[in-house]
């Protein structure tokens, strides 16, 4: 029996019941008879455990959590009733005669590989599946009080790391050295080590340190500042470049605690920031401050984006806002939770109403080709009276 997980905040049974209930309601509304949850993060969200298994959820009736291994850990981590299986092929036998396999089935088709989809279609002798991912992502976008506690704990780690950052940014320090020290600081403060992103070929480092021209090189990833990295095999993150006086050092740190992520960015400099970057830095700060005042429950995310873009336009910086040329990204904010790229997305192309207890990162950044970049990123919790900061780190760092 495991005894070393007592420090973990296990998901409360009431939270799991509420999540399953909301999923079943959405399934009924969408004409989905049952769902099979396979992806690790969704499995964790609905059951409280990451042990190898399958979660079967009928629109009507009781769900079934099938665990292949490790069942000893699963019984500690989840309050749900567990059905032990020797292989995933045992699921068909367990469901035979229940009448559960009929109508339309739901699977996470945005992340489940084709081979896995075909495997389950063959196991169940059923092929009428639809994508249930939009329903799951929408349910996950509004956090419970338990989840907000985990987000705030993650934010405390983030705050600690940025407190250390101001002492580490020194002339001659390599980007990768700053990164290594701050990664260690985060781990010692409780960082979980892994981060998760949803989607094919989505990868993320815990930290990106990009200085001068390193911050201005575009990437194939959908991020405004990726960094160069130390190899083309991992085309992002800190490089071997050394910090120069007056040049902006952009540190983007992603914390993780009990599964939940925070994602913030600060800009530092040795000495006085060079004149080229002072105005855009002040504009980024103004955009953050405006969002703090303007953002609220019920606001369309498009309005939040447009407000930021208009501030950049009035300053004559729209050409460099959120990237330059082909390196531009189409968003200024993204949801946070068990994955780094959750809903809501704050973009001019996607109307989303901000709801109470949504959590999102808001990141105005300006990139100047061949020169460098500046930016600030803060995390917000949507409250009934406005936006609440997740961390206590000052946004003015230069």
Task: Give the model confidence (pLDDT) of 337-378 as tens digits.
Answer: 999 999 999 999 999 999 999 999 999 999 999 999 999 999
Q: Which two tokens stand for residue 320?
A: 């460099």
Compute the distance between CA of residue 23 and CA of residue 176 in angstroms, rounded to an integer. 43
What pLDDT shows up at residue 326?
A: 86
Taking each helix axis from N to C end, the angle separating 40-47 and 13-30, rounded to the nearest 10 degrees, works out to: 120
* CATH number for domain 141-389, candidates 1.10.3720.10, 1.10.150.80, 3.90.230.10, 3.30.230.70: 3.90.230.10
**Looking at the predicted structure, is the pLDDT value of residue 1 above 60?**
no
pLDDT band at 151 (very low <50, low <70, confident <90, very high): very high
Contact 229, 236 (CB under 8 A): yes
Instruction: Pull the structure tokens for residue 354.
Output: 């901000």
Residue 3: is its pLDDT beyond 60? no
The Cα–Cα gap between 262 and 267 comes to: 17
Q: Phi and psi for 117 in degrees, rounded to 5? A: -60, -45
**What pLDDT is recorded for position 300?**
97
Does the structure show a pLDDT above 80 at 7? Answer: no
**Pairwise pLDDT comparison (384 vs 341), residue with the higher score:** 341
- Judge whether residue 2 has pLDDT over 60: no
Domain 13-139 architecture: 3-Layer(aba) Sandwich (3.40)
pLDDT band at 95, cuts 50/70/90?
A: confident
- Is residue 9 within 8 A of residue 150, CB to CB? The reply is yes
- What's the whole-number mean pLDDT along residues 171-199? 95
Q: Which two tokens stand for residue 260?
A: 């939940």
Average pLDDT over residues 90-118: 89
| Rounded mean pLDDT, 120-140 | 95
Q: What is the DSSP letter of 319?
A: G
Beta bridge partners of 268: 249
d(CA 35, CA 1): 32
> Same CATH topology for 13-139 and 141-389?
no
Whole-number percent of the chain with pLDDT over 70 = 98
In which residue are the tokens 């949504």 written? 358
Render pLDDT for 237-286 as a digit per residue (tens, 0 to 9). 999 999 999 999 999 999 999 999 999 999 999 999 999 999 999 999 99
Mean pLDDT across the chain = 94
- Contact, 210 vs 175, CB < 8 A? yes
Q: What does the radius of gyration of the chain's CA atoms come to, in whole angstroms?
A: 22
Question: CA torsion, points 37, 260, 322, 278, in degrees to nearest 10?
Answer: 180
DSSP state, 171? T
| Crossing angle of the two packed helices 133-140 and 40-47, in degrees rounded to 10 | 50
- Residue 89 corresponds to which tokens in the numbers above? 């092929």
User: Which carries the bigger pLDDT value, residue 27 or residue 102?
Assistant: 27
**Would you kindly state where each structural domain of the chain is located, as residue ranges?**
13-139, 141-389
Closest Cα to residue 82, out of 97, 94, 96, 93? 94
The reported pLDDT for the residue numbered 179 is 96
Spatial CB neighbours of 251, under 8 Å, sequence gap ≥ 6? 162, 165, 169, 178, 182, 207, 208, 209, 265, 266, 267, 268
**pLDDT tier, 324 (very low <50, low <70, confident <90, very high otherwise):** very high
The conformational region for residue 199 under phi > 0 = left, psi -120 to 50 = alpha, else beta, is left
CA 168 to each of CA 162, 178, 377, 393: distance values in angstroms, whole numbers, following the listed order: 10, 6, 19, 16
Tell me what pLDDT residue 130 has.
97
pLDDT value, residue 9 = 87
Report the alpha-carbon distance of residue 167 to residue 269 in Å, rounded.
11
pLDDT for 219: 83
Q: Is the per-residue pLDDT at 310 higher than 80?
A: yes
| Cα 287 from Cα 98, distance rounded (Å) | 56
> How much is the pLDDT for 221?
80
SS3 at position 77:
helix
**C-alpha count within 13 angstroms, C-beta hemisphere, residue 190:** 18
Query: In the chain, what percentage of residues exceed pLDDT 90?
Result: 85
Output the pLDDT for position 339: 97
What are the pLDDT digits (tens) for 28-78?
999 999 999 999 999 999 999 999 999 999 999 999 999 998 999 999 999
Residue 228 phi/psi, 5° resolution?
-90, -35
The pTM (predicted TM-score) of the whole model is 0.94
């Amino acid at each position: 029996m495991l005894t070393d997980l007592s420090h973990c905040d296990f998901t409360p049974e009431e939270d799991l019941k509420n999540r399953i209930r909301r999923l079943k309601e959405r399934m009924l509304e969408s004409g989905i008879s049952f769902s099979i949850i396979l992806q690790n993060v969704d499995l964790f969200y609905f059951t409280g455990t990451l042990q190898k298994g399958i979660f079967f959820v009928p629109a009507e009736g009781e769900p079934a959590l099938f665990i292949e291994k490790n069942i000893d850990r699963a019984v500690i981590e989840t309050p749900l009733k567990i059905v032990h299986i020797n292989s995933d092929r045992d699921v068909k036998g367990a469901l035979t005669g229940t009448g559960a396999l009929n109508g339309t089935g739901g699977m996470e088709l945005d992340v489940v590989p084709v081979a896995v989809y075909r495997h389950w279609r063959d196991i169940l002798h059923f092929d009428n599946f639809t994508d249930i991912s939009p329903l799951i992502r929408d349910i996950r976008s509004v956090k419970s009080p338990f989840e907000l506690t985990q987000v705030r704990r993650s934010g405390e780690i983030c705050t600690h790391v940025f407190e250390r950052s101001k002492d580490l940014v020194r002339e001659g320090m390599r980007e990768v050295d700053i990164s290594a020290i701050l990664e260690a600081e985060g781990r010692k403060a409780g960082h979980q080590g892994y981060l998760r992103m949803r989607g094919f070929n989505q990868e993320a480092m815990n930290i990106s340190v990009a200085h001068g021209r390193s911050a201005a090189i575009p990437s194939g990833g959908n991020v405004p500042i990726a960094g160069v990295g130390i190899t083309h095999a991992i085309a992002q993150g800190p490089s071997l470049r050394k910090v120069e006086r007056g040049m902006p050092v952009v540190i983007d740190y992603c914390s993780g605690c009990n599964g939940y992520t925070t994602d913030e960015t600060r800009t530092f400099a040795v000495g006085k920031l060079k004149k080229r970057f002072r105005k855009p830095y002040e504009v980024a700060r103004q955009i953050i401050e405006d969002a703090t005042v303007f953002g609220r429950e019920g606001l369309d995310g498009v309005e939040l984006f447009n407000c930021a873009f208009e501030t950049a336009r009035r300053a004559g910086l729209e050409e460099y806002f959120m990237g330059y040329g082909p390196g531009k990204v189409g968003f200024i904010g993204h949801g946070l939770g068990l994955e780094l790229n959750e809903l809501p997305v704050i973009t001019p192309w996607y109307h989303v109403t901000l709801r109470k207890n949504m959590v999102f990162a808001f990141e105005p950044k300006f990139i100047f080709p061949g020169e460098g970049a500046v930016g600030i990123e803060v995390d917000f919790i949507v409250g009934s009276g406005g936006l609440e900061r997740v961390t206590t780190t000052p946004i003015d760092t230069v």
